[in-house]
Structure 1
C-alpha cells in the first residue's frame, strides 16, 4: 500500500467509534487506491451497519461483490447485514459462502452458530462454535457461546472450562463472569461462583434485576437456598427495590425456620420503606417452624402476645386499602403447633386485622320464600389437597340433599380433575383466585346472597382469615380443616365432632362449638399399593425395629423427645424414623434438637426423604410401629394408617387437634393403643414393636372395624339438619310456615 498511514488512521477512527471520521478516511483511501481491494468498502459497510444505516451498507457491499465476487470478507459482511435484518436464510447462505472461500474463517462458523442457536438447533450450533474455537483458540465470543449451550444442557464441567477461558480473554465482560458463575453455582463450587457473580454485578450493576428474577424462579421452585443466594447477590446491584429484596430474604429465612435471620431482613426492609406498616406486622408475628425446647416455645409465645398488644395500640384505625398487602402471608398457622390453647392470641390477631379493614355493606334481607338454602364454601384448596380429602364429599352431598352449594376459589389458581368433578356436582363454582382485593371479594360473596357461609379451614393462607372477620352471610361457620379457633368474632360456629373433643371444649373456641355425634371427614380409605418394596428399598434398616413418626416435622413438639428417649432405651433394637419435608430442610433443625435432648441416642433417629403417596403407604406397611405426635396429632395420616389396618400409638391431649386418633379408636370401639401417660405411651409402643403376635391381633381388630370411620354420611345428615334448623330459626316467624 502506498499510503498505509491513511488506512491505519481509518482503522483507528473505527476502533474508537468515531464513525464520521472513519468513513471519510476509508472513502478517501478507496478513491486514491481503487484497485487495491474492497476492504475499505467492507469496512464502510460495517460502520453503516453499526449505525443501522442498512441501505447504505447494502449498496457498498453490492459494489464490493461486483468488484470482488471471490472475496470472503464481502460475503461475511453480507451475512452480518442479513442477520441484522432477520433474513436468516440469506445470512446462512453468505456465511457458508465465506467459509467456502476461506475455510479458516472462524467468524463465519461463530455466526452460523448464532443463527442455529437462535433457531433452536443447539447441537448444530455447538458444533459451529467448537469449529470456531478450533481455528481460533482466543475467540472469547465463541468460547462464551459454547459455554452457554453447555450450561443449558447440563454439561457443567465443560461449561466451566470454556467459560474460564472466555473470562481470561475478556476479564471485564460481565456476561462471561455471570455465565461462569452460574456454571460454578450448579457445580456446587459456591465460593468461586460468588466471586464471578459478584464481579459480574460490579461490572454491570443493572444485573440486579436478572439476579432478582433468578431468585424468584428458585423460590417458585421451592429451592430456598438458591433463591436466597441470588437475592443477596441482587443487593449488590442497582435498579431493584432493596426493601423488596430484604422482604424476600425474610420470607426465605422464615420458611427455613430461622426467625432471627428473618427478623433482621424484615427490619432492614422496614428501614428502607418506613411508610409500609405491613413489614412491621410481619416481623412482629414471626414464629419458628421447629422449636428447640419448650422454653423457646414460651419465649416466642410471649413475644407474639406482646407484639399483638403493641400492634393493636399503634395501628388503631383502618389503613388505606391500597397500602395493605394483606393476602400474601398468614400469622396464625404456626400458633397451632405450640401445644397451647392459643385461642386468646387468635382473638387478639383477629381484633388487630378487623381494626384495619373497612366495614362491608350490611346484609340484604333473604328472600322469604326461597325453597333451597344457599350455602357457600370459601377456600384456596379445591384441588388434590388435604382439605378436599377431608371435605370433598360434603359439598356434593349437600347439593344432592336440598341445598344450593356455591364454591368460591380464592388466593390460589390451582385446579385439577378433582376441581373439574366438583364443578359438575355443585350449583355454582366461582374462580376468584386472581382477585386479591378484599373489598371486591367481599362484594362478590355478598352478591351471592348466601344463607350460610362455610370456611373449610382458616390459617393456611391469610385471605380466608381476613374474609372471616366480616359478616358476609347470616350464618358463618368454620370446619376443622385446620383444627383451631379462628378468633374471629363474626364466625358463629366451629363444627367438630364429640368423639374428638375433650371435656370443657367450648372454652377453647371463640366460636360457639357445635359437635356432631359422627365425624364429617370424608378421607377415602387407602388402596393397598400395587407392589410392596422391601424395607431396605424404603430406606429402613433390616436388622432393627422401625418406629415411624409419619407426621409433618413441624408437629414434632419438644415434648416428644422424652417419649422417643424412653422407646429407644426400652427397645435396644429400635430406630425412630421421620420423613423430611418435601421442600424444606427442617430435619436439620430437628436433628440439632435431638442431638442435645438425646445426646446418647440421637444416632438412632433417622430422616428419610419425602416420597409419593404409594411409597408413603409402603412405609406405613413396612414399619413395625406407627407413633402419633403429641399436641397436634395425625389427621389424614390417621385415616390412612387405620384404613390399612395398622395400629397407631396415641396419647390424646387436652385439645381437639391431639385427639383425632383416639376419637377414631372410640368410633371403632378399640382402646388397646390409647395411652393416658407418657409411661403408658412408651409401654404400648414397645409392646407393639416387640410382640408381633399382639401387634397382629390389634391389626386384625382394626381391619374388622375400620369401615365405620370411612362413612361420613351419618355425620353429614346431622350437619344438614343443624344447618336447616339454624336457617329456619333466623327467618322471620311469618315466613317459617
Structure 2
C-alpha cells in the first residue's frame, strides 16, 4: 500500500535531492510504493524545477516496475499517487504515459542546461524505449538523434538508433548510422550484425557483416541464424539447418532461453526448397515438414518452447511459402503451421479493445460511413498492388471510408501504383516494423472490416491476423491460398472466447476461379476462412502498361530466325513443377523449330537448380532450344510476351497478374486446368472473355494445344484477334466494384462467421414455416430422412402430397417398393422414388465435407454436406426437419451451392450411384481406345466418316421432309455432311407407296428400309437400326424435329460438340437439346428455356455439356424423373450402350411388347451404370405435337 506515514520519511529533511536519494534506495530494495512516494516528494520540494535526477528516476521507476515480479504493489501505489494525473488506457499504458511525462521534463532540464553533466546516453535510451512501448516510434527516433548529436561517439545510443530507424523503415538512415558505428568500433560484433539486418531489409546481402560478427564473437547466435536464413533462401537447406542448430547450441549454452522457440521452428521448417528436384523430392520434403511441425505442436507450452518474438522465428520456411508449389491441397498444412504459433506464441493474441466487440451496424453516432481498411506490404508495382489498386480507389465512398495500411513505405517503393493507391484512400497509414506497434496502430482505427491483400508472403502480414484488429476481416487472393489462421484453432489453443481471438473471417474468391471436376471436392474445404464467392474476377485491374517500344527478339538475346516458334514461360522459376519438364520436352519433340524461353530467377542458385533438374534429364538433348533471358523491367516483360507465339502457363501455380498483362498483348496462353491446384485464375479470365480453346484438361492436350498454336500462324492470329477483341472485359469492370460494395456490406451486416467454428447463418422469420410440426417417430427411433412427394393419382388425376419419413435402420428400397405399390406408381416412378430415398438415407454413411450452422429461432442447427450430396435434397430435408418454408429451403440451397459449387460436376453427381442398390453396373470407361469392327473411337479432327444418321418415319411425309431438309441445311448440304457421316438410314413404317417414292426421289443418297406389316411399331424400327448400323456412333432422329442451327455453326454444334463429349467422357449418349425441362427438351416454346449454367467441359474444342441426373429434387431440374437415355435427337455411342447393358446381363434391344419400351430401356441403362449428357443449349425444335405416329399407325397408347 502507499505509505502516508511521514515518520518513515522525515519531512524535516526538506531537500529534494535527499528524497530523490531515498527513492533510489527504496527502488533498489524493490519497495516500489515507498520509492514512488519519495520521488513524488522530491518533485514537490523542488522549488527550482531543475532536479533532473528526481524526474529521471521516477520515470524509470514507473517504466520498469509495472512488469516486475513485485510490480503489483507499484500499481496500488500508483493509483493513489499524484504522478497518476489523468492518463488513459490500460494500467500499463498509464504507467508508461506517466513515465514519458517525467522523461520529457527531465529532457527539458537537460536541454535548458546546454552541456549537462549527466549520463545523457543512458537517459535517452530509457526514454526512447518507453516511447517505443507507447508506439511512438518517431518520438523515440527524435530522442535518439538528439542523444547521438550530443554524444556522437556513444555506440550504445547509436546502435539503438539503428534499430529504431530499421523498425521504422528508414533504412537509408539506418545504414548510414551503422557505417559510422563500425568506423567508431570495427570490433563490435553486435553493430555488424545489425548492419547486416539493415542491408537485408534494403534488398542487399548482409552475409559479409554476419560472418564478420561471428569472427569477432562466436556466440552471437543472431548472426548464425541470419546466415541460416541466407543459406535456406539460396536453396541450401542442409546448410540452413546446420546454422540454426549451431545457434540453438549457443543459446542453450549461454542461457538465452527466450530464443529456443524461434530456433526450433526455424529448424523444423527448413525443409521446403524453392526448387524441387523431383516429385519424389516433393513427397519427402512435405512429409518432413508435416512431421516436424507436428512434433512442435506436440510439445508442451512452456517458457522454453515459447516463441517470444514471432518476427525472429521466420527462417527458411517458417511461413510455408513454397508449400503452394507442390501441387497439393494445402489448407491443413497451413493450419498446422498456424496451430504451432497459436500454441507456442501467445504474444500473437492481444485481446481487442471493447469497441471492437460491438457489431459494425448500426453505425455509432460519430460515424457516417462503414470504415474499411486494406493492408499489404506490397502496395506498389507488385502483383498485390496492381490487383488491388482499382478496388481501393473505386469502392463506394458514399458508403465506405477507406484506410490503407502500408507495411513497406520506404521511398524506393513509392512508385506510380503506390501513388494511385494512396491517392485513392481516405487515410494512409505507414506501419512501423514492430509487430506490437503495428498491431496497436491498426486496432486504434476501430475498423469495421480489414482486408488483407495477402497472408503468407510477408512476415508482418502473416502475424497480424492472429489478433483481432477489426470487427471483420477478409483475405484477398494475393497469395492465392488460405492463410490457415483459423479462429477456431485459436480458441482451442488459447482457451479464449471467439470474440477475443483473431483469425481471418472471409476469403474473397470467385465462381470463375474455383476448381471444377473430380479434383474439386468443396471449395470451402480448401480454406480455413469462410469463402465468399463473387461472380466476377474480383480485381478492378487497370489496363496494363504498354510494351517497351522498338524492341525485337534480338533485344532479349533470342534467335531472330522467323522459322522459330517462341514458347514463353514468363513465371518465377519456383512455380515450375518437376512434371512440367516432361511437357517442355514433348513440346520440343513435336516442334523442331520450337524455342522455350524462361526468365532467370532472382537468385542465381535457383536458376542453376532448375537448369540442373531440367537439363540433367531428357530435356538435356534440347539444351540449345531452352533459353533463359535476363530479368526484365515491367514494360520489357510485356514486350517479350507480345513477341512470343504462345505463352505456357505452368503448374501447379500459373499466372494471375501476369496473365492479365499478357492478355493485353493478345498473346495466347495455354492453360493446364487439370494441374492447377490453387485458384483457376487464367481459366477465369478466359471464361470471362468467353474463349476456352486453350484451356487443357490433360498433359497430352496441353502439349498438342501449345504446338498447334505455336506452329500455326493462322490459328495464332485468330486467337490473338479473339483475345484482343474480348480482353476489355478483364479490365476495370464495374461489376467487380459492385460486388466488392456488396461484399463489404455483407461482411459487416452478418455475424462474424467464427462463433461455432462453422459458417453460421441466422434464418429470417420470412423463411420459416409457422405451421411447422415436428416429425415424431414411435419407439424412440431416430429420423434418417424425410421428404414430401407430390403424386398424381393415375385413376382420378388429382394431385396430393405424401410425407415420407424413414428411421435409421429402415430399408429405403423396401420402403420405396411398398410406397409405389400403395399409390399405383408406374415402374419409372418407383425407380425415381427408390433413387431418392436411398440417397436420403445412405448419404449418412459418408463423411461430412462442409457444414453450415443455422440459427433457427435462437436454436443452433448444424446442416452437414456430405460427399456427392444432392444439395437440394439436403436443403429440403433440413427445411422439413427444422421448419423452413419453400423460400427458406431455396435460400438454404443457394447458400450450400455457393459453398460447394462442384455439386454440379459429373464426378460429384456420378458418385451418388454408389448409394443406389439397383445400379448393378459400373458403366464403361470414358477413355476406351481400342478399335474394333464398329469403327473405333472418335478423335477430334480425324479424316473420314465415323457416324451413321438414322431416321424413323411413319406416314408423316411433310414432317419428315422438314426434319431432313433443316438438318442438311444446318450441316451445309449432303456433300459437306458426308465428311463425318458415313451413311443416312431411313426406316419407314407404313408410309404410302407414293410417299416412299417421294422420299427416294428427294434423297437419292439415303438408304431406305421399308418395313413390312409384321415389323410395325417404333420399338421394332429401333431394333432394325441397331442391326443395320455398322459405325460405332449413331445419330438418331424421329421425323418431327426442325433444326435451328445455321450452316456457319451447324457442324460444330450438331456433330463436333457432342462427339467431343463422347470422346472425352464416359457418356454413352449426348442429346442435342438442353434437357433441364420438357420445354427445353422440345424447344417449345424456346423462350421458356435459358442456357443451363451447370456445365462441364470436355475435349479439344471445350465442348460444354450437362450430365443428366435422375432422382434429384432440385426445382430447376424438371426432367429429373427421366432415367437418362432418350430417343430425343442425339448421338449414341453404340459400343458403350452394348457393353453397359451386357455387363449387367441385359440385351441391347428394345422390347416391342412393352408400350413404355423407351422408359424401360432407359431404366435398364440407368441400372447398368451408364452416363448420359445433353448440350446446354437449344439446337432443334419438336414439331410433331399435332399428330402422333402411333395413332397414324394404329398403335395408339393410353396417353396418346
**Global fold match (TM > 0.5):** yes
- 1:389 corresponds to which of 386, 389, 393: 386
- 1:361 corresponds to which of 326, 332, 351: 351
Paired residue secondary structure (2:483) = coil
Aligned to 1:279: 263
Deviations 1:239-284 (A, max 9, x none): 4753222212112111111111111111111111232121121121
Aligned to 1:680: 701
Deviations 1:100-120 (A, max 9, x none): xxxxxxxxxxxxxxxxxxxxx
Deviation of residue 421 (structure 1)?
3.7
Deviations 1:129-167 (A, max 9, x none): xxxxxxxxxxxxxxxxxxxxxxxxxxxxxxxxxxxxxxx
Paired residue secondary structure (1:430) = strand
**With structure 2 as the length reference, what TM-score do the two structures score?**
0.42
Distance across 2 between alignment mates of 1:216 and 1:375: 34
Deviation of residue 385 (structure 1)?
2.0
Deviation of residue 540 (structure 1)?
1.1
Distance across 2 between alignment mates of 1:670 and 1:502: 18
Aligned to 2:1186: none
Moved more, 395-404 or 256-265: 395-404
What are the residue-to-residue correspondences of 1:94-243 with 2, within 5 Å? Answer: 206=187, 219=200, 222=203, 224=205, 227-228=206-207, 231-232=210-211, 234-235=213-214, 237-239=215-217, 241-243=219-221
Distance across 1 between alignment mates of 2:358 and 2:679: 41
Aligned to 2:555: 537
Distance across 2 between alignment mates of 1:326 and 1:386: 26
Deviation of residue 425 (structure 1)?
2.6
Deviation of residue 632 (structure 1)?
0.1
The yes-or-no answer on 1:302 pairing with 2:291 is no
Distance across 2 between alignment mates of 1:480 and 1:317: 35
Aligned to 1:570: 590
Aligned to 2:453: 456
Deviations 1:360-379 (A, max 9, x none): 22434257444411111222
Distance across 1 between alignment mates of 2:245 and 2:269: 13
Deviations 1:321-372 (A, max 9, x none): 8554458555222111111111101111111112212432243425744441
Richer in helix (by share): 1
Deviation of residue 206 (structure 1)?
3.2
- Structure 1 residues 345 and 425, CA gap change in structure 2 (3 angstroms): same
Aligned to 1:506: 524
The yes-or-no answer on 1:374 pairing with 2:371 is yes
Asked if 2 retains the 8 angstrom alpha-carbon contact of 1:483 and 1:656, the reply is no
Deviation of residue 306 (structure 1)?
0.7
**With structure 1 as the length reference, what TM-score do the two structures score?**
0.67
Asked if 2 retains the 8 angstrom alpha-carbon contact of 1:650 and 1:681, the reply is yes
Distance across 1 between alignment mates of 2:406 and 2:237: 31
Distance across 2 between alignment mates of 1:528 and 1:364: 47
Moved more, 689-698 or 577-586: 577-586
Asked if 2 retains the 8 angstrom alpha-carbon contact of 1:326 and 1:463, the reply is no
Bigger CA radius of gyration: 2
Aligned to 1:431: 430
The yes-or-no answer on 1:556 pairing with 2:576 is yes
Deviations 1:514-539 (A, max 9, x none): 11111122332224335231212211
Deviation of residue 313 (structure 1)?
1.9
- Structure 1 residues 531 and 212, CA gap change in structure 2 (3 angstroms): same
Asked if 2 retains the 8 angstrom alpha-carbon contact of 1:484 and 1:657, the reply is yes
Distance across 2 between alignment mates of 1:451 and 1:464: 19
Aligned to 1:637: 658
Asked if 2 retains the 8 angstrom alpha-carbon contact of 1:575 and 1:606, the reply is yes
Distance across 2 between alignment mates of 1:327 and 1:532: 48
Distance across 2 between alignment mates of 1:346 and 1:529: 38
What are the residue-to-residue correspondences of 1:468-547 with 2, within 5 Å? Answer: 468-489=465-486, 490-503=503-516, 504-529=522-547, 531-543=549-561, 544-547=564-567
- Structure 1 residues 495 and 325, CA gap change in structure 2 (3 angstroms): closer
Q: Which is bigger in relative contact order (C-alpha 8 A, separation at least 6)?
A: 1
Paired residue secondary structure (2:696) = coil
- Structure 1 residues 711 and 213, CA gap change in structure 2 (3 angstroms): closer
Asked if 2 retains the 8 angstrom alpha-carbon contact of 1:545 and 1:689, the reply is yes
Distance across 1 between alignment mates of 2:475 and 2:544: 27
Aligned to 1:261: 239
Paired residue secondary structure (1:378) = strand
Runs of 4+ in 1 over 6 A off after TM superposition: 207-211, 318-321
Distance across 1 between alignment mates of 2:308 and 2:332: 30
Asked if 2 retains the 8 angstrom alpha-carbon contact of 1:532 and 1:618, the reply is no
Paired residue secondary structure (1:475) = strand
Asked if 2 retains the 8 angstrom alpha-carbon contact of 1:499 and 1:518, the reply is yes
Asked if 2 retains the 8 angstrom alpha-carbon contact of 1:390 and 1:636, the reply is yes
- Structure 1 residues 412 and 519, CA gap change in structure 2 (3 angstroms): same
- 2:667 corresponds to which of 646, 652, 655: 646
Asked if 2 retains the 8 angstrom alpha-carbon contact of 1:410 and 1:435, the reply is no
- Structure 1 residues 389 and 616, CA gap change in structure 2 (3 angstroms): same
Aligned to 2:735: 714
Richer in strand (by share): 2
Aligned to 1:194: none
Aligned to 1:581: 601
Deviations 1:645-669 (A, max 9, x none): 1100111146563521111111111
Deviations 1:198-237 (A, max 9, x none): xxxxxx993867976886676466555xx545644553x2
Distance across 1 between alignment mates of 2:276 and 2:306: 36
Moved more, 552-561 or 268-277: 268-277
Distance across 2 between alignment mates of 1:351 and 1:344: 10
Distance across 1 between alignment mates of 2:533 and 2:677: 12
Aligned to 1:407: 404
Deviation of residue 703 (structure 1)?
0.6
Distance across 2 between alignment mates of 1:462 and 1:220: 12
Distance across 2 between alignment mates of 1:205 and 1:380: 34
Paired residue secondary structure (2:374) = strand
Asked if 2 retains the 8 angstrom alpha-carbon contact of 1:223 and 1:583, the reply is no
- Structure 1 residues 689 and 442, CA gap change in structure 2 (3 angstroms): same
Aligned to 1:312: 297
- Structure 1 residues 417 and 663, CA gap change in structure 2 (3 angstroms): closer
Distance across 1 between alignment mates of 2:448 and 2:313: 26
- Structure 1 residues 473 and 220, CA gap change in structure 2 (3 angstroms): closer
Deviations 1:564-598 (A, max 9, x none): 01101111111211001245431100000012322
Asked if 2 retains the 8 angstrom alpha-carbon contact of 1:327 and 1:463, the reply is no
Distance across 2 between alignment mates of 1:364 and 1:658: 33
Asked if 2 retains the 8 angstrom alpha-carbon contact of 1:205 and 1:238, the reply is no
Distance across 1 between alignment mates of 2:306 and 2:200: 30
Unaligned 5+ runs, structure 2: 1-184, 487-502, 517-521, 753-760, 763-1200
Distance across 2 between alignment mates of 1:327 and 1:426: 33
Distance across 1 between alignment mates of 2:394 and 2:203: 36
Asked if 2 retains the 8 angstrom alpha-carbon contact of 1:477 and 1:493, the reply is yes
- Structure 1 residues 642 and 684, CA gap change in structure 2 (3 angstroms): same
Asked if 1 retains the 8 angstrom alpha-carbon contact of 2:403 and 2:426, the reply is yes
What are the residue-to-residue correspondences of 1:46-125 with 2, within 5 Å? Answer: none
Aligned to 1:16: none
Distance across 2 between alignment mates of 1:531 and 1:709: 23
- Structure 1 residues 401 and 687, CA gap change in structure 2 (3 angstroms): farther
